[in-house]
């Protein structure tokens, strides 16, 4: 599969340049894709950001050199991109649990972060239902949070909080919707260190003023790939497994075989109740895309 070959080509490029100055743009270029799409794909498939992967591989090789050679700490620090022994020691100890000087001693336990290898797996899973659609831009009102690491732990806690403190109903009220109506989730401002912003909200009607305590997000005109799933709504603030599975399959199955790549812009989860019992909902995952 071409996408897998190009991802492997990017990993080869990283391995060949671990003691050189390389950026995410360079690595994405080796995969013949945009920086934005490559970062999203890499993180979704591996669980690591590109910068985390490069840093962990460099610190793995640095540990091997410290333990197996008589090289000086300062020389090895400079070789793997650290401008000072202090910054190298801080990063090294965070990963290995020991200082670079201690790593030179015998019988010291060190961690090894292996080189990633992408492989094709043939699975008997069901087909994916999707559509490509054009969506007009809008102004969204809601409440946002910065997600630092685990979206599927941090976001449910945030959602539960705004349900309980009345913010969820306040947003619906301003948008002219009944209390308890499901809001949409917007993911945006993805950074190289893996953080992102998440806003739970809905389109703001024209002429409506925004209270100081709420946030807004401008969503541009965009082309989206839209995927749907049906799931029991998470009363205990846990995101349904089916929705997680949809996100996983988009990056592991759909993007590698589709003629589209992700482009910059908010990703969305649009939730709808299926009936008046509020026991089951449909979630649509919207990802901004463009033809390759």
Residues 224 and 167 in one domain: yes
Give the C-alpha separation, 2 to 258, whole Å. Answer: 11
Asked if the model's pLDDT at residue 279 lies above 70, the reply is no
Query: Same domain for 251 and 138?
Result: yes
Question: Do residues 202 and 244 both lie within one domain?
Answer: yes
- Whether residues 159 and 247 fall in one domain: yes
Residue 121 covered by a domain: no
pLDDT of residue 240: 56
Other CB atoms within 10 A of residue 223 CB: 16
**CA-CA distance, 31 to 8, in Å (whole number)?**
8
Q: Are residues 163 and 30 in the same domain?
A: no
Q: How far apart are CA 289 and CA 255, in angstroms?
A: 10
Q: What confidence score (pLDDT) does residue 81 get?
A: 92
Give a yes or no: residue 253 inside a domain. yes
Does position 234 have pLDDT exceeding 60, yes or no? Answer: no
pLDDT reading at 155 higher than 50: yes
pTM for the full predicted model: 0.81
User: Which residue is associated with the tokens 């360079």?
Assistant: 26
For residues 183 and 171, give the distance between their C-alpha atoms in angstroms, rounded to a whole number: 8
Phi and psi of 270, rounded to 5°?
-105, 120
List the beta bridge partners of residue 18: none
pLDDT at 250: 92
| Joined tokens for residue 107 | 């019988």
Helix or strand (DSSP H, E) at 228: strand 222-232
User: What is the tens place of the pLDDT at every residue in 43-100?
Assistant: 888 888 999 999 999 999 999 999 988 889 999 999 999 999 999 999 999 999 999 9
Asked if residues 204 and 141 have their Cβ atoms less than 8 Å apart, the reply is yes
Domain extent at residue 227: 130-291
- The residue assigned the tokens 């992700």 is 262
What are the C-alpha distances in Å from 170 to residues 53, 89, 233, 246?
Answer: 42, 49, 21, 30
Together in a domain, 176 and 255: yes
Q: Is residue 251 part of a domain?
A: yes
Please tell me the total count of domains within the chain.
2
**Res 25: pLDDT:** 94
Q: Quick one: tokens of 30? A: 């080796």
The enclosing domain of 287 has a CATH number of: 3.20.80.10
71 and 173 assigned to the same domain: no
Mean pLDDT across 228-238:
53
Same domain, 228 and 269: yes
Asked if residue 118 is part of any domain, the answer here is no
- pLDDT surpasses 80 at 233: no
Residues 275 and 156 placed together within one structural domain of the fold? yes
What pLDDT is stored for residue 241 in this prediction? 65
CATH number at residue 67: 1.10.10.60
Task: Of 42, 33, 36, give the one whose Cα is nearest residue 11.
Answer: 42
Which uninterrupted H or E stretch holds 284? Answer: strand 280-291
139 and 97 housed in the same domain: no
Query: Which among 103-107, 280-284, 285-289 has the top mean pLDDT?
Result: 285-289
């Amino acid at each position: 599969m071409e996408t897998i070959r190009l991802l492997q080509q990017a990993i080869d490029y990283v391995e060949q340049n671990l003691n050189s100055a390389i950026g995410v743009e360079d690595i994405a270029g080796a995969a013949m894709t945009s920086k934005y799409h490559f970062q999203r794909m890499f993180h979704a498939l591996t669980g690591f950001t590109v910068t985390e992967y490069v840093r962990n591989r460099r610190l793995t090789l640095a540990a091997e050199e410290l333990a197996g050679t008589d090289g000086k700490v300062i020389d090895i620090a400079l070789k793997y991109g650290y401008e000072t022994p202090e910054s190298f020691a801080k990063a090294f100890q965070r990963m290995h649990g020991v200082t670079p000087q201690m790593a030179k001693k015998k019988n010291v336990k060190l961690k090894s972060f292996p080189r990633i290898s992408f492989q094709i797996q043939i699975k008997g899973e069901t087909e994916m239902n999707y559509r490509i659609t054009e969506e007009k831009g809008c102004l969204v009102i809601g409440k946002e949070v910065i997600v630092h690491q685990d979206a599927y732990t941090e976001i449910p806690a945030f959602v539960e909080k705004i349900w309980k403190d009345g913010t969820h109903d306040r947003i619906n009220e301003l948008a002219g919707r009944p209390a308890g109506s499901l809001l949409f989730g917007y993911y945006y401002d993805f950074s190289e260190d893996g953080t992102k912003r998440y806003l739970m909200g809905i389109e703001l009607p024209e002429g409506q003023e925004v209270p100081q305590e709420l946030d807004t997000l401008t969503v541009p005109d965009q082309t989206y790939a839209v995927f749907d799933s049906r799931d029991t709504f998470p009363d205990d603030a846990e995101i349904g497994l089916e929705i997680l599975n949809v996100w996983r399959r988009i990056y592991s199955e759909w993007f590698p075989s589709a003629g589209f790549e992700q482009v910059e812009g908010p990703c969305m989860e649009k939730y709808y109740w299926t009936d008046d019992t509020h026991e089951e909902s449909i979630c649509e995952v919207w990802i901004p895309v463009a033809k390759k």
